[in-house]
Structure 1
């Protein structure tokens, strides 16, 4: 069980209390957002010094105390490894841009312009060109994200050597692994061809030239041999756009690269073309995506399981009902996710059912991506501000970045000082303190669910099988291990829905393992009626 958590001043000052909270929840591994020294152009994903702690968060001594506290509680800690790019304030880039013959020049990707413009038509993931002009040397450098995040040149062996040295430095301190940010972007087609642009846009998506690039597996296998294989650690790679066949290459048990990857197929179900063109999602599509990954990685590679992270909206607002059935749908989604095969990741606040936030004014948002969208579509593009704001409310990254809601006091108990972004106004009702006192809360349900996973190997290793019973709002599947069979039935609708139990399941001698509704749960029968957002799990047998 992995819990992602921001390293904050609150976390440092109250680390014992918070680590005890995570231990009590059942967390095995804590994944920290980037805590390295950074100008914070992109929430710490722009690193200026890999071997220093961001001053706002504390000191390296504070980190060492945190790591010791994690290990004392028999938990582990993994760091966010951000090595596709650095900050433009990193000493490597400061030197690189001084002159074309500087020793660090080739640490980054520089090219002369063409016809008075960038070297090619690639677009940045944050909007605009993926190239920034540097007057000092009259060349452009590549930045797939912000201009303050220049891409490293992994084709340069000195870059790889220095990155591997940095990784060893952290591992020798005792950390337990890495989550690797956009790791499938580190290899580019160094010919830098223009991307196809049938629509005639100013900048085109050039992902085919830098996603899962020509040397990426060579680089990761070198990383494994030089660094990862020397330590008892876990690794998970963020690999946007990865296919199942590519995932097998990154995380196959015999590949000697990574332990698992994050795939994004289920994160694109509510969008058309790009994340801001929000559309309704279909449960049938979710079934197809999840089942394909469950079945095709079974026995070959290991799945990562998530519905939330720092880049995605809150799952209860996205896939559930965050008003009338917030508690029920948060519990149902937890059941759905944790009953699949793979390692579940819990994003901070997910375990208490935190929701999206709908700030009224654009200035209340802090995310670089959101402000770039507003500039491109509203300020420069003249689009309807209301339409764009509704897209931000639905898909903006700041939905996941509002402070953790600990109690009903000022700033949700997160800090006495004003936090970097406003707290979600519902913190007075949705917070840890309230959840701790309610035996039927989302938080206590997560504890029960995680406890089941730790005591029943079938939840970890059982083989998955989707059940299609004709109801478009029911997601049902089984997990099987040896002679044990569990049936999981989840209603993704805010109304009552029926489920017909497959005839090959023996209805005698069944046992209710879990339900997200209070009170007595009916025994398994040939016909079940599920309440809104109800989830049930039965232990049963095949005929």
Structure 2
């Protein structure tokens, strides 16, 4: 069944770093409103805002202290209403981040729970007795250290899978669940089109709260062990959908890392919990559960296999949300293209692969102009809680300060959080004040202003890709058509068809700096998109230059 969001292009805004309207160094809602025409011009339909609710910002807004209000750093509820109204005028849709696995330790509920660990609000959280002088069990939090934090003057502990300032909400409690449903519906009634749903698999715990075998010297075990053992998250997700999203035909995209084998249909099938989930198959390549210091390199063929396998798995089931990067990852072009080959041509190739896959494309702010990783010179320049934890993990493993700094420079989430590069003026035109995180020093070379005017820029290449996706002639093939891999015998070649009812496209991307001769069985009708000036041909062979991508009608 066709849905309103199938043919849309989405864009993630990290509000703190997008555009600052008042010179305090932090991006805000008025800044976002001022750039809606820029996004409309690019071809964006759906905008997802990372959290803008009231928050102490321990984890950049993913620790919410009030779900019904906008943090004053980002503006007011009037600004939010204005954003919704301005977006509607442009036929654009706004998604917010739904963070309901945990809240902030400054949330009213948690304050009441601490005041009375036996009272009604204590049951909004997981509060358990310690085992003698030890926490209830040996699970490790995502940010390092135990998931248990002791409540002062008691032998009770509360559970936090993330930072200690992010206590987990108890989804086993019907009262708490109803509070969440009420809040979700309040926002949807206000005019939100839906939500990106944060860390949602974590809402179901293994209620035995038992130890698992330790997997590091700290005596703790990865939280993944608990999630593997927990049963019944589907019932909770179904109830969330039925009591909220379904009533509004909302578009929902889940951040789902720990889905069990064979359950894709339950998540994004015809009657799935969500409209879509992010495709993280390329994101998890080479990642180690021991820490960033242990991440392994991967080959282009492995990258291709990860993407193609995911496309084939999703075929006939539903739509995944395709990404190259987001606020939790380093910059995609810096991660997936060797540093010495990083240029406009290779950036365009990566964009073309992503936007021609089956699924909903999510562009992360700055991706459309080819923003790259930053260069951080000391641990003091980082703001991200996960980066600081990983720096310490590397030091504990015996790496020197210089080596640890080099590791986190590659993988830090702060790479994607540096201010958006609008123009070549001071602070890249992001703010007239002092930016909360340092601006990437390449902003004079890479910025939106210079690219909008340049027909050959990365920005205008993205625009062409989006126009092709939306064109009446090819929309059916790109949005609904089959994904069919081909020419897999070639190394470092991404080759696939998008087969619609009446049109068939072929995408060829030479993912290396050396040229490659490709034998094509049949002639193509015409070249629709090419990131080089020409295609070199020799009878039924074509010669692809390094990092050349072509989209052909066949």
Instruction: Answer yes or no: is 1:388 the counterpart of 2:396.
Output: no
Q: Deviations over 1:2-46 (max 9, x none)?
A: 000123443534444400000000001000000000000001000
Partner Cα separation in structure 1 for residue 502 and residue 459 of structure 2? 32
Other-structure match for 1:499: 518
Of 526, 536, 544, 1:511 maps to 526
Of 236, 240, 263, 1:223 maps to 240
Is the CA contact 2:535–2:544 (under 8 Å) kept in the aligned structure 1?
Answer: no
Of 484, 487, 492, 1:465 maps to 484
- After TM superposition, list the pairs within 5 Å mapping 1:187-266 onto structure 2: 187-197=204-214, 201-210=218-227, 213-243=230-260, 245-255=262-272, 257-266=273-282
Instruction: Answer yes or no: is 1:529 the counterpart of 2:540.
Output: no
Is the CA contact 1:469–1:500 (under 8 Å) kept in the aligned structure 2?
Answer: no
Q: Deviations over 1:168-209 (max 9, x none)?
A: 111111010000001111100111121223665421113132
Q: CA shift at 1:373, angstroms?
A: 2.1
**How many pairs does the alignment contain?**
533
> Does the residue aligned with 2:262 lie in a helix, a strand or coil?
helix
Instruction: Answer yes or no: is 1:93 the counterpart of 2:101.
Output: no
> Does the residue aligned with 1:421 lie in a helix, a strand or coil?
coil
Q: Mind listing any 5+ residue stretches in structure 1 that lack a counterpart?
A: none
Greater CA deviation, 184-193 or 112-121? 112-121
Is the CA contact 1:108–1:151 (under 8 Å) kept in the aligned structure 2?
Answer: yes
TM-score by length of 2: 0.93
- After TM superposition, list the pairs within 5 Å mapping 1:403-422 onto structure 2: 403-422=419-438
> Does the residue aligned with 1:266 lie in a helix, a strand or coil?
coil
Is the CA contact 1:352–1:432 (under 8 Å) kept in the aligned structure 2?
Answer: yes
Is the CA contact 2:424–2:443 (under 8 Å) kept in the aligned structure 1?
Answer: yes
Partner Cα separation in structure 2 for residue 422 and residue 211 of structure 1? 39
Instruction: Answer yes or no: is 1:539 the counterpart of 2:547.
Output: no
Is the CA contact 2:276–2:318 (under 8 Å) kept in the aligned structure 1?
Answer: yes
Is the CA contact 2:14–2:327 (under 8 Å) kept in the aligned structure 1?
Answer: no
Greater CA deviation, 45-54 or 478-487? 478-487
TM-score by length of 1: 0.94
Instruction: Answer yes or no: is 1:112 the counterpart of 2:129.
Output: yes
Instruction: Answer yes or no: is 1:7 the counterpart of 2:23.
Output: no
Greater CA deviation, 31-40 or 221-230? 221-230
Partner Cα separation in structure 2 for residue 431 and residue 136 of structure 1? 54
Of 431, 435, 438, 2:451 maps to 435
Other-structure match for 1:46: 63
Partner Cα separation in structure 2 for residue 485 and residue 223 of structure 1? 39
Which gives a bigger RCO, structure 1 or 2 (Cα 8 Å, sep 6+)? 2
Is the CA contact 2:481–2:499 (under 8 Å) kept in the aligned structure 1?
Answer: yes
Q: Deviations over 1:40-97 (max 9, x none)?
A: 0001000000011111111111111111111110000000000000000001111111
CA distance 1:116–1:284, shift in 2 (3 Å) = same
Is the CA contact 1:514–1:536 (under 8 Å) kept in the aligned structure 2?
Answer: yes
Q: CA shift at 1:417, angstroms?
A: 0.9
Q: Deviations over 1:364-399 (max 9, x none)?
A: 010011112223432x55531222212211111001
Partner Cα separation in structure 1 for residue 452 and residue 262 of structure 2? 43
Is the CA contact 1:244–1:296 (under 8 Å) kept in the aligned structure 2?
Answer: no
CA distance 1:121–1:374, shift in 2 (3 Å) = same
> Does the residue aligned with 2:254 lie in a helix, a strand or coil?
strand
